[in-house]
Amino acid sequence: MTPKYIEIRDRCTCIAAMCMPLLTTTVEGALILTRAGYGPAPVSVVLVQLDGGVAGRAQTDPYKWTGGRTMGEAHRWIERHYPELHDGDVVDVEYILGETTSPKTPAICRV
């Protein structure tokens, strides 16, 4: 499966990220995932921060992010909506939590 590259946005926050579900089509891959504690359902998503002082920080459990609400809330939303995501999409935590009436656009964060 190909990873998806997204922006995670929150109040004064713009994080470049990569996400990808932990899925495999081989018996060997399934054995490794099972040994590591990942069962067939629900599907876990690996979320990796790509920029800032925490580049490369990754997590498979949305409840293990530290440092505030942004990554955990975004990760939980991504796991529920992964099939709908496309490269360049914005996951807007303020919008997800109902704090704003419209989602942020990706142009603000793009170079």
The per-residue pLDDT for 53 is 61
Q: Which residue has the tokens 């990942």?
A: 38
Describe the chain by its helix, strand, coil percentages, rounded to 5. 35, 25, 45
Domain hosting residue 23, numbered range? 4-108
| Residue 30, CB-side half-sphere exposure with 13 Å CA sphere | 5
What is the predicted pLDDT for the residue at 71?
95
pLDDT band with cut points at 50, 70 and 90 for residue 109: low
* pTM (two decimals): 0.86
pLDDT at 111 over 60: no
| Strand bridging mode 4-10 / 13-21 | antiparallel
Q: What is the pLDDT, as a whole number, of residue 25?
A: 86
Domain count, the chain: 1
> For 50-106, what is each residue's pLDDT tens digit?
976 665 789 999 999 998 899 999 999 999 999 999 999 999 999 999 999 999 988
